[in-house]
Structure 1
């Protein structure tokens, strides 16, 4: 990926490789969740001829599939100041309760909306590109949550897009199709 800085978060024991002319740096950081402090690492891929005084596009990969999607919704809720684009795949928000998107979609949507507005963000300050396979069982939790979110003023068809991978299941083939679909949204001209 030329001309971009890629940051990989929440990917334990992952092997990361860079081309000879680029490099990977490890960054240590601390985060607090529900009163508990966690010490983490992120891998940062720096492109060929990286110059710290130059602006670059940045892509944050935060393991947003299945249980990782649940984490992505938490990041939207608690760390919106650090990110503006989210790609939860095959997983609903558990902020209200486990499987909250299916069991309590209205309460889940309302809690997410409240967290965003409490931080004084507006509907054009973030984008969510949610997706799931049409034959994936997690669709039955994601779809009600997304539909409930669309009923609230902070969410709309532009900042909350929902894509079904036709015939997709809860597997890597569907993940790849969902990532390709999201990539088109993340890197379009603005």
Structure 2
């Protein structure tokens, strides 16, 4: 096979996670467990929970240093505690972050693990969602489809005004102006959530990491069907947003033996054809989209953590 020489068509090579990165580092970040309130639209509120990773260097008294934020979503049947556990725990993803930051692979960042579980009570009556179609679908499909509303209106303002990020207020214009400092990704149903976030919250997020899951915007549980229509729909979303292709990034991945691969691969191939909106390249300085394919990879966090390891250095590279 002839070696590709054009950077804009070169695939991102999958690199196995070094064993040392699975081990605890002496410079450890911390996990904070937070509760926040989501209006239930019935003159009350629901209480939800998320976890926040703060890097080793984070100093609450240092207001001059600002941090980028990655929101990372779990899969179906999981919750916000799966990735980090809670305060005092050192699960694999936390060890990976600690090691990457300590070794200079990435700049220190804040990582938030929310949940799409627990649909906002009274969502059908929410005037902000009056323009969307019927909510008559089973959970967690509805929860993934409309999580972006909670992300934009509740989670981002809550988290990013609490910590030293690149926002100063919870004002929408401030949140939009800081989108280059924000990423959202997820695994499986969390990947489905990521595609919906791209569709509905592009004004607030610049980097997207769909892992092991295709977009269901055109057809529920797409299963590789209507890949062309799905890719064209995503391209139209990008075009209608008014952003140029270098104002948003899609860093995608799946194991080749993953159950989601046959669903995701056709969509990726169709997106590659739409070069006016999706510039395929292993180098984010030249493109805005790539798809990592890992031989042997299956539908587990063992592989997803490795995809995160591969993708993290490409986030926030323009800053």
| Range of TM-score over shorter length | 0.7 to 0.9
For residues 140-179 of structure 1, the C-alpha deviation after alignment (integer angstroms, 9 at most, x for no partner) is: 1111101111222111112111001111111222112211
Residue ranges of structure 1 left out of the alignment (5+ in a row): 1-18, 32-37
Distance, in Å, in 2 between the alignment partners of 1:142 and 1:129 is: 13
Shift of 1:130: 0.4
Equivalent residue number for residue 156 of structure 1: 279
- Residues 101, 144 of structure 1: 8 Å contact kept: no
Q: Aligned pair in 2 of structure 1 residues 95, 46: CA closer, same or farther (>3 Å)?
A: same
Q: Aligned pair in 2 of structure 1 residues 68, 188: CA closer, same or farther (>3 Å)?
A: same
Equivalent residue number for residue 61 of structure 1: 72
Q: Secondary structure at the match of 2:66?
A: coil
- Residues 101, 108 of structure 1: 8 Å contact kept: no
- Residues 150, 156 of structure 1: 8 Å contact kept: yes
Please, which of 125, 139, 149 is the counterpart of residue 261 of structure 2?
139
Please, which of 214, 224, 233 is the counterpart of residue 111 of structure 1?
233
Shift of 1:29: 6.4
Shift of 1:136: 1.1
More strand by share: 1
Q: Aligned pair in 2 of structure 1 residues 131, 27: CA closer, same or farther (>3 Å)?
A: same
Shift of 1:116: 1.8
More helix by share: 2
- Residues 29, 40 of structure 1: 8 Å contact kept: yes
Q: Secondary structure at the match of 2:237?
A: helix
If the length of structure 2 is used for normalisation, what is the TM-score? 0.47
Equivalent residue number for residue 305 of structure 2: 176
1:167 paired to 2:296: yes
Residue ranges of structure 2 left out of the alignment (5+ in a row): 1-26, 40-45, 75-185, 281-286
User: Mapping of 1:1-190 within 5 angstroms?
Assistant: 24=32, 26=34, 28=36, 41-47=49-55, 48-50=58-60, 51-63=62-74, 64-100=186-222, 102-152=224-274, 153-157=276-280, 158-186=287-315
- Residues 27, 44 of structure 1: 8 Å contact kept: no
RMSD: 3.0
If the length of structure 1 is used for normalisation, what is the TM-score? 0.75
Q: Which has the higher contact order (CA 8 A, sep 6+)?
A: 2
Equivalent residue number for residue 88 of structure 2: none
Task: From the CA coordinates, give the structure whose radius of gyration is larger.
Answer: 2
Distance, in Å, in 1 between the alignment partners of 2:259 and 2:28 is: 42
Q: Secondary structure at the match of 1:71?
A: helix
Q: Secondary structure at the match of 1:87?
A: strand
Deviation larger for 22-31 or 166-175: 22-31
Q: Secondary structure at the match of 1:109?
A: helix
Q: Aligned pair in 2 of structure 1 residues 155, 42: CA closer, same or farther (>3 Å)?
A: same
